[in-house]
A and B are shown apart, each in its own frame.
Chain A
Amino acid sequence: MTQDCPTVFNITNQAIGFKNHPIFSNLSLMIKQGEKVAIVGTSGSGKSTLLNYLYQCRSVDVAYCPQKSMLVDTLSVYHNIYMGILNQHGFFYNFINLIRPFPLHKTRVEQLTRRLGLTGLLFKSIDKLSGGQQQRCAIGRALYQQLPIFIGDEPFSGLDPKQSVELLKAIKGQHQTVVVALHNKEMALNQFDRIIGIKDGAIAFDTPATEVSSEQLDLIYHRIEHSE
């Protein structure tokens, strides 16, 4: 299906990570438009580094959702979601919106918070929300950007499986290309087209989700059980 689509990421023989201490010494990876890719691997295997790198490659087209939600605690859900589009407006427009939210964005963000299950929390500050609510707000910040590519670094941690699947559907519905690092084996197998396994700074396997063997997944997940 995605065979003839244009390539969004094309990395060949790249060293990625710190300058003198690369995490991936020689990485090649191609992701095409429309692909839904799950990245699996143990903590510290280099998933975040890889996602970071992908973001830097096309920061203009990518809505990014980092590992720890990294929201601004004292500000409201509204402002945290609006922060996704700061670069799309001038500073004074943004500054006025900080003091007195524009009705246009207020309506839009409110609709978004309903879809995210954050109804009524629009003007509650992040530090007054539960961990799960914060996580949904972080996803909201990415969704509000309306960009073609979504990159998420464990965006569903702290959410129950049902909520996670619903949110992932919302993400897939709005982005052509989705690249997400995951810990959830079921979700990786059932919701994605392609699974990339990462181990010790290299790609251990890269296959369509339907063809992933249990040995391959065990290679990754066995390690997780031991390391966690």
Chain B
Amino acid sequence: MITVDTTARKYRLISLFIASLGILTLLMADIEISATDPMDELLAILAGFISPDLSQIDYLAEALLTTVSFAVVGISIAATLGIFLAPLHHLPLISHFCAFIRSIHELFWALIFLQMFGLSSITGVLAIAIPYTGIFARVYSDILEQSPLDRRHWINDTSLSVWLYSCIIPCWAAIAQYTRYRFECGLRSAAILGFIGLPTLGYYLETAFSQGQYNQAAGLLLLFFAMIATLKWWLNIRLVLVYLIAAIVYLPWQSQLEFKYLVRFITQDIVPQPLLEPTLNLSHLSQWFGDLVSGQILPGIGASLLLSVSALLCCGVIALLTWPLASRAILGRGYILGHGLLIVMRSTPEIILAFVIMLIIGPSMLPAILALALHNGAIIGYLLAHRADKLPRRVDRPNGLNLWAYELQPQIYPSFISLIFYRFEVILRESAILGMLGVTTLGFYIDSAFEALFFDVALILILVTAALNMLVNSISLRLRRYLALDRILTA
């Protein structure tokens, strides 16, 4: 008997494992279409896109400028702090701190600051600056790590100029490219901050969609796409300082902050209530905490994982189906259509996608699954198409479907699996905030706690969410190392 020992087999086994897990969770998830006329709603939304209308929206320019300003100020702060934290990122304390702050979603940070600073610019800017600082610190440190110069040269030499010349300047191109990419993400984050009431594009989008003003909603979405699509023309790295000053001048900085409320929030509101009783009653405390665990934490974690794993399977399927549409090697010039489709899909924030899909098919877990799958599937599909087109070509290569099945798909499959693992972390982080739309993930309980002014519960739930993200990230990292997947993406 001939033994089968192929790398393809290893990836087949990993895929089968992910697929069975995904199918199992899909069977358990609530995925019904509850709307009575999903087609009508879909057609109404599509009709909105045929005649988008922005003329009826007051404060449109303000919304646009506020969105950009939040992103500019938030990302500038995060990038600056990130660059200073990066050389220290090898210290466990710093790396755990950074992992912690980035494991809490922008919207949750915003909900916290909302209680402290109200609907002010400080809330918006901090909500972006804090998690992105954690992201920048880690990625900048990875970039510096790959710097041709030996790290030991500067690690013991604390002088700023040595650090600047030996680290930052050689890696400048990579740092600038990554920061530019993250600015695009920052714009998306700033836009969705509107979902909790800050006056950015998301606020007007949610209003227009909720009121069935699909012409306005379409106009706003198209405006948002245009803003991202034209980024490379208006985001000039040399003008960053000008943008930053303009944004700081533009944003209103006064807030309803009153010192005594801030003190009360920190010393009383977020402290678990049983601890504030005059005499500490341990049985009361344990009952309070037990109720929280069984009533919210465990169901929340369960729903978050259920949603994320189902979405991961759908995301993988979408990525595998869509990448050939954006590949020049397979489709020739026709690739431009698929390419455009993937760009639109990945530019739309998950929460907006989920919101729109929910309007069409009604509330269940399905809109959240589809939104996560479409957004992340498009990102992976885009990257795979790019990778496939860069593979060396032999003159006698097959074409069309044969090329796809025998040459390209097997060669990019390792990248696909690697991206899927990485994207699971992103999906899990995003799955929490989709709870704000009513899916009972951890985010749902967090949002409800904030609404009911149970800030102590909200804080514990946010910490649980962060811990879950960090746990899954570390498991995923180990798994990727074990399967030797990390090498594939850097190769």
Q: Which of A4-12, A21-29, A52-60, A196-204 contacts B (4 or more CB under 8 A)?
A: A52-60
* Chain A residues closer than 8 Å to B146, beta-carbon distance: none
A216 contacts the other chain (CB 8 A) = no
Cross-chain contact A70 with B394 (CB below 8 angstroms): yes
Cross-chain contact A122 with B2 (CB below 8 angstroms): yes
Interface size on B, residues (CB 8 A): 24
- CA of A123 to CA of B1, assembled, Å: 11
B100 contacts the other chain (CB 8 A) = no
Q: Which of B65-73, B81-89, B400-408 contacts A (4 or more CB under 8 A)?
A: B400-408
B58 contacts the other chain (CB 8 A) = no
Cross-chain contact B402 with A74 (CB below 8 angstroms): no
Cross-chain contact A91 with B2 (CB below 8 angstroms): no
* Chain B residues closer than 8 Å to A218, beta-carbon distance: none
Write the A50-73 contact mask toward B (1 if CB under 8 angstroms, else 0): 001001100100101010101011
Cross-chain contact B5 with A94 (CB below 8 angstroms): no
Cross-chain contact A86 with B402 (CB below 8 angstroms): yes
Cross-chain contact A73 with B398 (CB below 8 angstroms): no
Cross-chain contact A74 with B395 (CB below 8 angstroms): no
- CA of A122 to CA of B6, assembled, Å: 10
Most buried by B among A52, A68, A76: A76
User: Given that A55-B395, A91-B401, A95-B405 are contacting pairs, would A74 and B2 also be in contact in the complex, using a CB cutoff of 8 Å?
Assistant: no
B289 contacts the other chain (CB 8 A) = no
B396 contacts the other chain (CB 8 A) = yes
B56 contacts the other chain (CB 8 A) = no
* Chain A residues closer than 8 Å to B396, beta-carbon distance: 55, 59, 62, 64, 66
Contact partner, B405, options A74, A91, A123, A128, Cβ 8 Å:
A91
Cross-chain contact A124 with B405 (CB below 8 angstroms): no
Contact partner, A74, options B4, B394, B414, Cβ 8 Å:
B414
**In the complex, which residue of chain A has the Cβ closest to the Cβ of B396?**
A64
* Chain B residues closer than 8 Å to A127, beta-carbon distance: 7
- CA of A143 to CA of B8, assembled, Å: 24
A224 contacts the other chain (CB 8 A) = no
B450 contacts the other chain (CB 8 A) = no
Cross-chain contact B8 with A76 (CB below 8 angstroms): yes
**In the complex, which residue of chain A has the Cβ closest to the Cβ of B403?**
A86
Cross-chain contact B398 with A86 (CB below 8 angstroms): yes
Cross-chain contact B395 with A125 (CB below 8 angstroms): no
A83 contacts the other chain (CB 8 A) = yes
**In the complex, which residue of chain A has the Cβ closest to the Cβ of B404?**
A91
Cross-chain contact A79 with B398 (CB below 8 angstroms): no
A187 contacts the other chain (CB 8 A) = no
- Which residues of B, 159-190, contact A by the 8 Å Cβ criterion? none
Contact partner, A124, options B6, B395, B410, Cβ 8 Å:
B6
B335 contacts the other chain (CB 8 A) = no
Cross-chain contact A98 with B392 (CB below 8 angstroms): no
* Chain A residues closer than 8 Å to B454, beta-carbon distance: none
Cross-chain contact B2 with A94 (CB below 8 angstroms): no
**In the complex, which residue of chain B has the Cβ closest to the Cβ of A89?**
B402
- Which residues of B, 247-266, contact A by the 8 Å Cβ criterion? none
- Which residues of B, 190-218, contact A by the 8 Å Cβ criterion? none
Cross-chain contact B395 with A123 (CB below 8 angstroms): no
- CA of A74 to CA of B401, assembled, Å: 18
- CA of A128 to CA of B5, assembled, Å: 8
B225 contacts the other chain (CB 8 A) = no
A150 to chain B, nearest CB (A): 12
* Chain B residues closer than 8 Å to A79, beta-carbon distance: 406
* Chain B residues closer than 8 Å to A170, beta-carbon distance: none
- CA of A79 to CA of B6, assembled, Å: 11
Contact partner, A83, options B9, B395, B407, Cβ 8 Å:
B407
* Chain A residues closer than 8 Å to B392, beta-carbon distance: 68, 70
A89 to chain B, nearest CB (A): 9
B413 contacts the other chain (CB 8 A) = yes
Cross-chain contact B3 with A98 (CB below 8 angstroms): no
User: Given that A122-B2, A123-B5 are contacting pairs, would A74 and B413 also be in contact in the complex, using a CB cutoff of 8 Å?
Assistant: yes
- CA of A56 to CA of B405, assembled, Å: 23
User: Given that A66-B394, A74-B11 are contacting pairs, would A125 and B5 also be in contact in the complex, using a CB cutoff of 8 Å?
Assistant: yes
Cross-chain contact B394 with A87 (CB below 8 angstroms): no
Write the B365-400 contact mask toward A (1 if CB under 8 angstroms, else 0): 000000000000000000000000000101110101
- Which residues of B, 410-430, contact A by the 8 Å Cβ criterion? 410-411, 413-414
- CA of A95 to CA of B11, assembled, Å: 18
A213 to chain B, nearest CB (A): 33
Cross-chain contact A72 with B411 (CB below 8 angstroms): yes
Cross-chain contact A125 with B6 (CB below 8 angstroms): yes
B424 to chain A, nearest CB (A): 22
* Chain A residues closer than 8 Å to B9, beta-carbon distance: 125
- CA of A22 to CA of B381, assembled, Å: 37
- CA of A110 to CA of B2, assembled, Å: 10
For the A-B complex with A75-B410, A86-B402, A123-B2 known, give 6 more contacts whose Cβ atoms are closer than 8 Å: A55-B396, A74-B6, A75-B406, A79-B406, A123-B3, A125-B8
Pairs A–B under 8 Å by Cβ, sample size 17: A52-B395, A55-B396, A64-B396, A68-B392, A70-B394, A74-B11, A79-B406, A86-B398, A86-B402, A95-B401, A98-B406, A120-B2, A123-B4, A123-B6, A125-B5, A125-B7, A125-B8
